[in-house]
A and B are shown apart, each in its own frame.
Chain A
Amino acid sequence: KNEVEQSPQNLTAQEGEFITINCSYSVGISALHWLQQHPGGGIVSLFMLSSGKKKHGRLIATINIQEKHSSLHITASHPRDSAVYICAVRSAIQGAQKLVFGQGTRLTINP
């Protein structure tokens, strides 16, 4: 069974702090996605990774395929980064379409 676990579940930090959110998964994957969900519920795709590292603005995502682990980092965090961050993976099984989601990490950045 494909499990996706995130840590921490909740994270509160001060503006400007460096943030790290972790994701571990249990099966071989073809891709891992980091998503952002705002209080209204909408989901925005941040990154799709199959290896290495990607950077977009203050956000950095890394993945270690051998260890089945990914991290999302936020540098110089800001209150507008407050949201739920979700890791989701697509299995490497041929024909697999679905994403399996983690439970999300609720991030609160205080001014």
Chain B
Amino acid sequence: EPEVTQTPSHQVTQMGQEVILRCVPISNHLYFYWYRQILGQKVEFLVSFYNNEISEKSEIFDDQFSVERPDGSNFTLKIRSTKLEDSAMYFCASRQGLNYGYTFGSGTRLTVV
């Protein structure tokens, strides 16, 4: 079964550092998403990406965040200057179309110290 692959599985970074979280969505999927889950809380939407541009973003997704699909296979989330409150599990997801289900990656646990 096709998978969404996320790397790394766990990243520890110092406050103020830049991090890039990487995702390889399923190859024929057209819609891409980043979600995050702070420990003990609900999963929250960050951003959706379609046709090489952001289609929707949440209030969380401020100027410190950016997404890219640089080469047609990878989908990255960059946090420019990490804060302690960015510590969370970050999930990438993709789907073939709006009437299809989502496939989630296994997540990247980001710890900011």
Contacts and interface: CB of A to CB of B under 8 A. Distances in A.
Bin chain A's interface residue count.
20 to 34
B109 interface: yes
Interface string A52-89: 00000000000000000000000000000000001010
Interface string A73-111: 000000000000010100000011111111110000000
A31 B100 CA distance: 10
Given A43-B104, A48-B100, A103 B56 contact: no
Interface string B31-72: 101010100001111001010000110100000000000000
Interface residues of B, number: 27
Contact of A101 (B43, B50, B89, B107): B43
B111 interface: no
Interface residues of chain B: helix, strand, loop or mixed (majority): strand
B106 interface: yes
A33 B48 contact: no
A42 B33 contact: no
B33 A97 contact: yes
The residue in A31, A33, A99 that gathers the most chain B C-beta atoms within 10 A of its C-beta is A99
Contacts of A42: 104-107
Given A98-B58, A104-B42, A41 B101 contact: no
Interface of A: 30-31, 33, 35, 40-45, 47-48, 86, 88, 95-104
Given A88-B43, A96-B56, 20 more contacts: A30-B98, A31-B99, A40-B106, A41-B37, A41-B89, A41-B109, A42-B106, A43-B91, A43-B93, A43-B107, A45-B103, A45-B104, A48-B100, A97-B33, A97-B55, A99-B43, A99-B45, A100-B45, A101-B44, A103-B42
